[in-house]
Chains A and B, each alone.
Chain A
């Protein structure tokens, strides 16, 4: 039995890969998830690994059934994404994927909040790199917005962690008491889980990634946040409603999308809504449901992104208004995509059914009838958008696509393997149920439930048939909460300009123009303040190194505590300043 952190395998891979011969990189890439899989499979519940860094003991590995369940699926999807992207000649993307997957595993297995934070930030680097790998101006701008939003989120997390340390003297990852610190941490988790109104980064950036990049993007950030929420906020009741609203929000916005990958991105928000609601419920059944749904979601959503990615690769297009009639050229892509679509829609014998129904069942057990009903509605809208509308207007429907180029075999193989897993879990749910955090007392298949589900889905099909003329894509953009940092600043500027003309007073205009520099000045001042208070930190650390004794983490904590107020306040202030800066400059 090993106690090797799987995160390190991937991060090592990210370092080694660029030094290997060009042609062997795609194959070498696959070795790392294979190796990591054997390592994860050999991890024992309760295994830990502590590595002293300076005088702080980083807990790089702390294993329990929850982290193992997420660990398995992260390693599996890293492998499948590698098969799908086998044709890539872009080492940058491969390195970024390994870094992103590795840091996600790092968060999952982190045993203390600082280690969690470090990996949390590395995830941001990896994911941003994947977005920028598309190398289009749109991807560049969306990636920058993504980076800034998550940077603010990360700083809120840091502030929360330090305040938490100041308040409790503990850095363990676990359920938090209510308080400023835990709310800050909650906000940063909710931001990464894409809980509205903190979600706009997701549909903004994910569709701009490359065909392969978006497969990875759809898997990690939100699910790591789901893991963190389970770990720290299980049973926090407001999450029930946040999750339910999220689920509805996602499907409503998805209906309005023209870009097929943006449509899928909104459905990530919607599906993560199920998980967040389940976390809010917090019973063993619900936590099992959230974990199971995260597991199946990663697989079928990756399959859906692979299917649409193949279309993007073959045609260079991803808009409903520019696609149609592809079934003639890419029937296999359609067939494999549909397996993902049946899974997300919760058809019996497909993976989504055995996890989604568990979440709904858990909501029923605590008698949250409105939640149950709304989740059924979301199920309907999911099948409508992903199972009917998207494939209809992409592969069937009026023929608008040019003749596509052939997609590489690796893409199809990656999709096929993912599809096999989706069906295997649907047909034989014990595969999944055996690795859930708690013993499963749930039987997904019974006649009544299958009849209900089929009624629901078949009649959704009928509704689509009635409404199909209304559902064609429109070449529009849908404003979302990113409006506040993409459009509002310009409006304010314009208004100030007009006011200054009308009133003949230039000061208004000058003032608004000056806001970004005022904010930057603030950031500099705050950084200086923090720097000054940090100056004493090295001396303390140094003293401990010189004294030659390896101090356990509890004994170092007081020294961290001494500074934690300053650090927390500083991080918070920078976060807010950056948010203001973001609003006042980016458009």
Chain B
């Protein structure tokens, strides 16, 4: 896991630097000036969505696979 994170950072950091040096800011969005914004969004956004969904599932939404069936057996 730590090694994988390291590899991702090795790819990400040069990308940020390249973006800082060569890219002119274009687009009119609030985030248009942030270097390598879309790479960061892809990485962080994905992790955040997974963690939030998993948290919701674990604490609230996910039930045993026979959650609806067990009721029927009672009848």
Contact = CB atoms under 8 A, between A and B. Distances in A.
Interface in A344-381: 364, 367, 369, 372-373, 376-377, 380-381
19 contacts: A255-B53, A256-B53, A256-B54, A258-B65, A369-B30, A372-B29, A376-B45, A380-B49, A381-B46, A459-B42, A460-B46, A463-B43, A475-B65, A477-B63, A478-B57, A478-B62, A487-B71, A490-B71, A490-B74
A476 B65 CA distance: 4
Interface string A447-475: 01001110111111011111100110011
A479 interface: yes
Interface in B27-75: 27-31, 36, 38-43, 45-47, 49-50, 52-54, 56-57, 61-65, 67-68, 71-72, 74
B20 interface: no
B45 A255 contact: no
A39 interface: no
Given A256-B57, A369-B30, A455-B15, A384 B46 contact: yes
Contacts of B26: 448
B1 interface: yes
Report the contact-size class of chain A (Cβ under 8 Å from the partner).
35 or more
Contacts of B17: none
B8 A462 contact: yes
Interface of B: 1, 4-5, 8, 11-12, 15, 26-31, 36, 38-43, 45-47, 49-50, 52-54, 56-57, 61-65, 67-68, 71-72, 74
Given A459-B40, A463-B43, A252 B53 contact: yes
B65 A477 contact: yes
Contacts of B64: 476-477
B29 to A, nearest CB: 6
B31 to A, nearest CB: 8
Given A252-B53, A452-B38, A470-B54, A478 B47 contact: no
Interface string A521-548: 0000000000000000000000000000
B48 to A, nearest CB: 8
B50 A459 contact: no
Given A256-B57, A477-B64, A478-B61, A459 B12 contact: yes
A480 B67 CA distance: 12
Contact of A255 (B4, B29, B54, B72): B54
A253 B46 CA distance: 14
A463 B42 contact: yes
A531 B38 CA distance: 62
Contacts of B74: 490
B71 A251 contact: no
A471 B27 CA distance: 35
Given A456-B39, A462-B11, A380 B45 contact: yes
Q: Which 3 residue pairs spanning A and B have beta carbons closest together? A: A459-B42, A463-B46, A455-B38
B62 A477 contact: yes
A460 B43 contact: yes
Max count, chain A CB within 10 A of own CB: residue among B61, B63, B64: B61
A459 B68 contact: no
A587 interface: yes
Nearest to A204: B68
A154 to B, nearest CB: 25
Given A463-B43, A463-B47, A466-B4, A479 B67 contact: yes
